[in-house]
Amino acid sequence: MSAIYLLRKISTKTPTRFHRSLFFSTFSKESPPDLSRTTSIRHLSSQRFVPSSIYRFPQSKILPNRKFSTSVETNSSDKSFERIHVQSGAILERIHKNEGEGEETVSKVNVETERVVREESEAEKEAWRILENAVVRYCGSPVGTVAANDPGDKMPLNYDQVFIRDFVPSALAFLLKGEGDIVRNFLLHTLQLQSWEKTVDCYSPGQGLMPASFKVRTVALDENTTEEVLDPDFGESAIGRVAPVDSGLWWIILLRAYGKITGDFSLQERIDVQTGIKLIMNLCLADGFDMFPTLLVTDGSCMIDRRMGIHGHPLEIQSLFYSALRCSREMLSVNDSSKNLVRAINNRLSALSFHIREYYWVDIKKINEIYRYKTEEYSTDATNKFNIYPEQIPPWLMDWIPEQGGYLLGNLQPAHMDFRFFTLGNFWSIVSSLATPKQNEAILNLIEAKWDDIIGNMPLKICYPALEYDDWRIITGSDPKNTPWSYHNSGSWPTLLWQFTLACMKMGRPELAEKALAVAEKRLLADRWPEYYDTRSGKFIGKQSRLYQTWTVAGFLTSKLLLANPEMASLLFWEEDYELLDICACGLRKSDRKKCSRVAAKTQILVR
């Protein structure tokens, strides 16, 4: 019996420097790392790295016994769900089991038996080579992939770091190939970073925040000894000091995907992992001044991590938030200490989907309604609730919106609708069933109708259309990287392919994804896997685009693997949850004199 202890120091105060030292692993240049110490944080599988092919974890053993928290329990008046209280001090947890019995590492993926064996194209073979090369090791174990590995790049900035969001397609490619260890290591190490000391000019953001990225640094202790350190960036070094709101949401989404694909649910059941989920959820669900169920964030808090006019309630964050809420609802074990949180999650899921379905949806009919809106309505049952002035409808939209199809707005605030089409947010609304089944269909119809604008010569436009002239000057702050039709300002990002593939597969339209993938495959290998493409139709490699960008490579591979393994793909999306539709947290009943505004509004949009 061998035991490795995980020491996780969680305090209600901001963690101190002491925490940092716990993450150091000391070893000399001559001798291998000291694997026997039990007093410092163990680097989990790094200390017990066993070729993963030895281990199997039969899915059938685990699946039937799972206890999900998906049954709906709500409480209309209980907005102040319980805050997680973690006592100052350490939680000691034993994590490894019987040595020799082959049970301690369960991250070998169970897909091998189900995987369709097919001939790989040249592009795929090269992509795997690049992806393997991008792997970052910490104390000898794989923990992530660098953002880019461009040999010609003399100024990699932070592209040599492991980004949380960038690692997701890499993780899925590895999982779908049958390699789970790197994903498990990544999830556990980033979980540790969650309680890291983080300050920007003496201010500490909320506990539970996940970093945007991290780097493995080798620090010299003396002439002969070095130590490896995980060095996270929570935005304190990032350009523009943007807060990585999406990181924690992606972490939760990946944690669920890991369980679903490997069948190893023991990871998500661990106390420290459960605490990690709760901390992220608590941060997102904390009460504030918000009037809407959407998450209020600053500009640049997601994949678009520079100023692009997406502060407030951008769709990308809302759809990832909704997905993370659904994941958490599945993964949280229900007990006395979690039941209030689960209830808060259910209430938020219901309110959020209603809000997005009702107020973010645009199609030709809705635009015509907005065009004729009355303004300055002071009442609880106003039609134009957000006081949108019809003059806001941009001239491009009137011509662009097809007869068939529609999409979810980029952002909604008082007196402001951002009519740009944001790709990632619309895809995740499909994948997570944030939008209605009809709306999901319509989003794909719009993409088909507007193929040249959204796919063109390289899938996929990050948003459409570009901000130009004064809009570009004022909204981006004259950002030379985000000039019209470049980078975040309507550049084309091949990494988005895997998310498009998932959305198409969910809607039973894989041929759309195949068509887009074929467009990409024609160029990516020859163009050396650029980060993004420029111009209206995505014709040119991006002005400042990195080459050998890992999530371009991984997005391509993951798309291929998903298309080849539809059963695996189906583990990664959600169907409509009819139970959620019936929750209403406002407490007003049909018979009440004052009617619930949601019940009234349901007549206008097709919820089901």
Q: Find the shortest distance in angstroms from Cβ 9 to ligand GLC.
A: 29
The CA distance from 565 to 572, in Å, is: 12
Of 481 and 602, nearer to ligand GLC (C-beta) is 481
Give CA–CA dist 10/374, Å, rounded: 53
Query: Do residues 317 and 411 touch, judged by C-beta distance below 8 A?
Result: no
Using the rule CB under 6 A, which residue among 228, 272, 299, 305 binds ligand GLC?
Answer: 305
Taking the complex as a whole, how short is the minimal distance between the CB of residue 507 and ligand GLC, in angstroms? 26
The token duo for 277 is: 């989920």
Is there binding between residue 166 and ligand GLC (CB under 6 A)?
A: yes
- The residues that bridge with 90 in the sheet, in sequence order, are 9
Question: What is the three-class DSSP state of 7?
Answer: strand
Helix locations, 456-527, DSSP H? 469-475, 497-506, 510-524
Return phi, psi of residue 180, to 5°: -105, -20
Output the smallest distance, CB 166 to ligand GLC, in A.
Answer: 5
Q: Among all residues, whose Cβ is closest to ligand GLC?
A: 147
Question: With binding defined as CB under 6 A, does residue 521 bind ligand GLC?
Answer: no
Give the CA distances from residue 495 to residues 385, 458, 520, 561, in Å, rounded to whole numbers and listed in that order: 37, 11, 10, 14
Tell me the site size for ligand GLC, rule CB under 6 A. Answer: 6
Check residue 421 for interaction with ligand GLC (CB under 6 A): no
Residue 461 binds to ligand GLC (criterion: CB under 6 A): no
* Least Cβ distance, residue 542 to ligand GLC (angstroms): 11
Task: Give the binding range for ligand GLC (CB under 6 A) out of 111-119, 162-170, 411-419, 478-486.
Answer: 162-170
Binding mask 313-352 for ligand GLC (x = CB under 6 A): ----------------------------------------
In terms of CB distance, is 62 or 553 closer to ligand GLC?
Answer: 553
Residue 268 CA to residue 435 CA, distance in Å, equals: 27
**303 part of the interface to ligand GLC, by CB under 6 A:** yes
Token code pair at residue 194: 């969650």
Q: Which of 147, 173, 297, 417 binds ligand GLC (CB under 6 A)?
A: 147
* Number of neighbours of residue 281 by Cβ within 10 angstroms: 26
Nearer to ligand GLC, 316 or 418 (CB): 316
Closer Cβ to ligand GLC, 267 or 302, answer by number: 302
Q: How far is CA 318 from the centre of its chain?
A: 11
The answer to the question of residue 165 lying near ligand GLC (CB under 6 A) is yes
Q: How far is the CB of 134 from ligand GLC (least distance, A)?
A: 11
Residue 453, amino acid: D
The least distance separating ligand GLC from the CB of residue 7, rounded to whole angstroms, comes to 31
Shortest CB 157 distance to ligand GLC, Å: 9
Concatenated DSSP letters for 239-300? Answer: GGG---HHHHHHHHHHHHHHHHHH--THHHHSHHHHHHHHHHHHHHH---S-SSSSPPB-TT
Stretch that binds ligand GLC, among 110-118, 163-171, 316-324, 373-381 (CB under 6 A): 163-171
Q: What does DSSP say about strands 135-138 and 162-163: parallel, antiparallel, or unpaired?
A: unpaired
363 vs 479 by CB, closer to ligand GLC: 479
User: x/- site string to ligand GLC, residues 254 to 293, per CB under 6 A?
Assistant: ----------------------------------------
Rg (CA), the chain: 24
As given in the structure block, the two tokens for residue 122 are 């040249």
Site string for ligand GLC, 372-391 (x = CB under 6 A): --------------------
Residue given tokens 């290998």 in the structure block: 525
Looking at beta carbons only, is 28 or 237 nearer to ligand GLC? 237
CA–CA–CA angle 393, 399, 401 (5° rounding): 80
Convert residues 61-100 into a mask of x (bound to ligand GLC by CB under 6 A) and - (unbound): ----------------------------------------
Nearer to ligand GLC, 147 or 277 (CB): 147
Q: What gap in Å lies between CA 251 and CA 189, rounded to an integer? A: 11
CA-CA distance, 544 to 542, in Å (whole number)? Answer: 6
Q: How far is the CB of 242 from ligand GLC (least distance, A)?
A: 9
Are the CB atoms for 317 and 292 separated by under 8 Å? no
Q: Which are the contacts of 152, defined by CB distance < 8 A and separation ≥ 6? A: 547
Stretch that binds ligand GLC, among 158-166, 262-270, 535-543, 567-575 (CB under 6 A): 158-166
Find the shortest distance in angstroms from Cβ 498 to ligand GLC. Answer: 15
Q: Which of 81, 493 has the CB closer to ligand GLC?
A: 493
Residues between 33 and 62 that touch ligand GLC (CB under 6 A)? none
Q: Which stretch binds ligand GLC (CB under 6 A): 36-44, 159-167, 365-373, 580-588?
A: 159-167
Residue whose CB is less far from ligand GLC, 244 or 405: 244
Nearer to ligand GLC by Cβ, of 109 and 147: the residue is: 147
Amino acid at residue number 416: H
**At 280, which amino acid appears?**
I
Q: What is the DSSP string of 285-302?
A: H---S-SSSSPPB-TT-S
Q: What DSSP string runs through 181-232?
A: HHHHHHHHHHHHHTT----BTTB-PPTTPPPSEEEEEEEESSSSEEEEEEEE
**C-alpha–C-alpha distance, residues 482 and 489, integer Å:** 5
> Closest by alpha carbon to 467, among 488, 445, 496?
488
The residue among 162 and 324 lying less far from ligand GLC, judged by its C-beta, is 162
Q: Which of 163, 174, 251, 322 binds ligand GLC (CB under 6 A)?
A: 163
Beta bridge partners of 418: 411
Q: Residues 552, 555, 561, 567: what is their CA dihedral angle, to the nearest 10 degrees?
A: 180
* Residue 307 in the binding site for ligand GLC (CB under 6 A): no
Determine the Cα–Cα distance for residues 318 and 295; give it in Å rounded to an integer: 6
Residues of this chain that interact with ligand GLC (CB under 6 A) are: 147, 163, 165-166, 303, 305
